[in-house]
Amino acid sequence: MHIGPYTLPNQLFVAPMAGVTDRPFRTLCKRLGAGYAVSEMVTSRPDLRDSLKTSRRANHDGEAAPIAVQIAGTDAQMMAEAARYNIDRGAQIIDINMGCPAKKVCDKWAGSALMQDERLAIDIVQAVVDAAQPHGVPVTLKMRTGWSADAKNAPRIAQLAEQAGVAMLTVHGRTREQKYSGVAEHETTAAIKSQVRIPVVVNGDIDSPQRAVEVLAQTGADAVMIGRAAQGRPWIFREIAHYMKTGTELPPPTATEMQGWMLEHLQEHYALYGEYTGVRSARKHLAWYTQALPCGDVFRRHINRLESTQAQLVAVTRYFDALAADRVPEFEAEACCP
């Protein structure tokens, strides 16, 4: 699997998700089997470049190459400048966001809203490619199947993007209108794969090793991209890799393994966000990690009351020590099943 000059270790990708796929999460996913990960979406607006949120999203300190940065915006020249700006700061691949369905993004005609205006969409793609090409930086595009069920124009945009010089396409199998409801369809991705020569990545509702293999076979895609299924389960990538290699399922991780990964994730998370924000933004990750675990609901209620990073680390350690020993942690004994 190649993106421009970069050879990737496998065909398992982490989807860019705002508020989720920051550097600590991407790094952990890569360590647990993902071959490639794209940053959270960063705005092309120059007045927001120095904001704390943007600086954290653009933080790639110590991250394994290739460094992929996703940019979003509605103005072709501003997007071109954003590409150059991020390349100057270490981006090795630029990804264009044409897939985000969030209202606050689409209301500004960015993200998947661009699919309503094919001319503007391709003008942006061409401007970004032209800005990145002198630096030898490939440009990729992530999009949806279209704006609505009546306007599935992803195949046409895919062909125009290829002509403009895009190196890879990722297709989420829903329209913007669907957001994350219903079931992703991958027939559109299969159609695109049959029409272009560049790599195509399939995305949407890939939540198990079996589903990954099935969707790859169905579409002929070159890679799968996984988003929500990796929240609280970053080891899904090693599970898929094992299944693709052996045809057998990998045993679930032990409580001790999960504890180690979570503590590693938390330490990196706190280092990026600091004490106050780190404690609060870590809560969603802890909730995802423990969603299906014994007494997870009581653990989450306890975690949400904690105000320090040290208290969170102690709680996670105690919880997983108890699971490993097949007993109930003290702080939740009164509310948990025996």
Element (H, E) at 126: helix 118-132
135-170: burial string, b at 16+ Cβ within 10 Å, e else: eebbbbbbbbbbbeeeebbbbebbebbbebbbbbbb
Could you tell me if 15 and 204 are in contact, meaning their C-beta atoms sit under 8 angstroms apart? no
100 catalytic? Reply is: yes
Q: Do strands 6-7 and 68-72 pair parallel, antiparallel, or not at all (unpaired)?
A: unpaired
| Secondary structure tally for the chain: helices H, strands E | 12, 10
Q: Find tokens 């080891």 and name the residue.
A: 235
Catalytic residue among 100, 106, 295, 337: 100
Encoded amino acid at 217, one letter: A
Could you tell me if 40 and 22 are in contact, meaning their C-beta atoms sit under 8 angstroms apart? yes
Closest residue by Cα to residue 144 from 108, 171, 116:
171
61-82: burial string, b at 16+ Cβ within 10 Å, e else: eebeebbbbbbbbbbbebbbbb
Active-site positions read 100
